[in-house]
Structure 1
Amino acid sequence: MHYWLFKTEPDEFSIDDLKAKNDEIWDGIRNYQARNFLRDQVALGDLVFIYHSSCKQPGIVGIAKVIKTAFADPSQFDAQSKYFDAKATPDNPRWISVTLEFVEKLRIIPLTKLKADQQLADMHLVQKGSRLSIQPVRESEWQYILDKYTSNSLK
């Protein structure tokens, strides 16, 4: 199993939206490195920290599980979508989606706390200039965050 951090802007799609729907396609990823993670590494059953970004208090807000892997992001073919890509075709899709299932909402773990924690100094999220929307999380980082910052049952 692998562990991930997926960023989302809560005014677009929040942990509460995922909880209400229970599962949802994770679409709109338009970065090649993030796409490659989705296509080549994200696997069925992987666990994901949901991270709210571009908001008043960015941070980890929940956990989801991957229930469907690597398929063509349908938004790339929809001319009405802001994620439309005229170069993508069904035979040659450029962008990938996965489906996530809600696991648990967490009390926010603010980015400021994560950055201040020396045990997490090597985590991708806290690195200067780290803006990638899909990031791997080491198992040791995942466990440490759960142990220190949550009462989560997945420990």
Structure 2
Amino acid sequence: MAKWLVKTEPSECGIDDFARAPQTPIRWDGVRNYQARNFLKAMAEGDEVLVYHASCKDIGIAGVVRVARTAYTDPTQFDQESPYFDAKSPPDNPRWQAVDMLFERKLARLISLDRLKTLPGLENLPLVQRGSRLSVMPVGEEEWRIILGERQ
């Protein structure tokens, strides 16, 4: 199984949203970057995903979710009321994908970006590289182990 990291603003959808309804899948939509979209398309049911809170007071990894439904057409691209509406996405060949995810666990404490940048073995993780803005990215097995080893 592959491992992933997704960035989110907790005011829109954070680990606490997953925790409130742990048996209810939440649609991960609104991704509007082709490389991030391709990573969504590569996700398989059961893959584990780190939830990274961004654009907030406490930035960092907050918990773990898992993929409950693999990539399907993101309906927000066709919704003119949605901030993720894409007038150039044709219904017969949609550009954007979504996946459904389920709550696994909230970390005992947030692992901050500053802390992640100091951990040996994470130098190649796109999250800690200058200028990386991807909202969805793969995480290697060793990187996963290093990151979750920090939650104690």
Aligning the two structures, in what range does the TM-score lie when normalised by the shorter sequence? over 0.9
Matches within 5 A, 1:55-66: 55-66=56-67
Quote the residue 1:16 is aligned against. 16
- Deviation, 1:57, is 2.2
Give the count of matched residue pairs: 149
Per-residue CA distance 1:32-55 (angstroms, 9 max, x = gap) = 10011112x211111000000011
Give per-residue Cα distances to partners, 1:5-54, cap 9 Å, x unaligned. 00001111111012113320000000010011112x21111100000001
RMSD, aligned α-carbons: 1.1
Alignment of 1:36-115 (within 5 A): 36-39=38-41, 41-106=42-107, 107-115=109-117
* TM, length-normalised to structure 2: 0.93
1:118 is displaced (CA, Å) by 2.3
Once the two structures are superposed, what CA deviation does each residue of 1:68-109 show, in whole Å capped at 9, x if it has no partner?
001000111111101111122332111000000000011100
Superposition map of 1:101-140 within 5 A: 101-106=102-107, 107-140=109-142
Q: Which residue of 1 aligns with 2:29?
A: 27
For residues 5 and 92 of structure 2, the distance between their equivalents in structure 1, rounded to whole angstroms, comes to 29
What's the TM-score once normalised by structure 1's chain length?
Answer: 0.92
Which whole-Å CA distance do the structure 1 matches of 2:21 and 2:134 have between them? 25
Residue 150 (structure 1) shift: 2.0
Gaps of 5+ in 1: none
**Which runs of at least 4 in structure 1 moved beyond 4 Å after TM superposition?**
none
- List runs of 5+ in structure 2 lacking aligned partners: none
Identity %: 54
